[in-house]
Structure 1
Amino acid sequence: MTIEALLIWLLIGAIAGWLAGIIVKGYGFGLVGNIVVGIVGAFVGGWLFGQLGIAIGSGIVGSIIGATAGAVVILLLLRLVRRA
């Protein structure tokens, strides 16, 4: 993995985590936490969309949408676990 690919990966994770924190109000984790949630969300979103047979598209915008959707799912699950 090149340094450029790593930076793009981190940027997509940061954007997705930030967007998910806005969508699921009150569950932001700061910059580093949002990057982690966004990166994990990218895996969850890719798996989830693959299971549902949904193709978002390619490129950075498609990656951000998928990662954001996965991060929202993660944040909603964290909200359920914290309430229990």
Structure 2
Amino acid sequence: MKHAFVAILLTLTACAGAGEPQPLSDSLTYGGKVVHSPYRPGTVVKHTFLGQFGYRVFETYVVQPHGRLKLTSQSTGPDFLWQ
């Protein structure tokens, strides 16, 4: 029950924040890092990592015309790998 409450709270917090998603500490573009991709512009790049409180963070990037990655979406979910 406690985990469900935290998940709902995180979802509502994410919905309340308007604008573009902000990179987290393990994101590919965190801290202003510039990541150039060898893929063609418009290619979708997915990235996952273990975030705060044991939740899995799912990120989607799109390769821009100049080759840099742009964070377009970010969501969290439970991590079932450790059970």
Q: Under a length normalisation based on structure 1, what TM-score does the superposition of the two structures give? A: 0.29
Higher relative contact order (CA 8 A, sep 6+): 1
Q: Which one has the bigger strand percentage?
A: 2
Larger CA Rg, structure 1 vs 2? 2
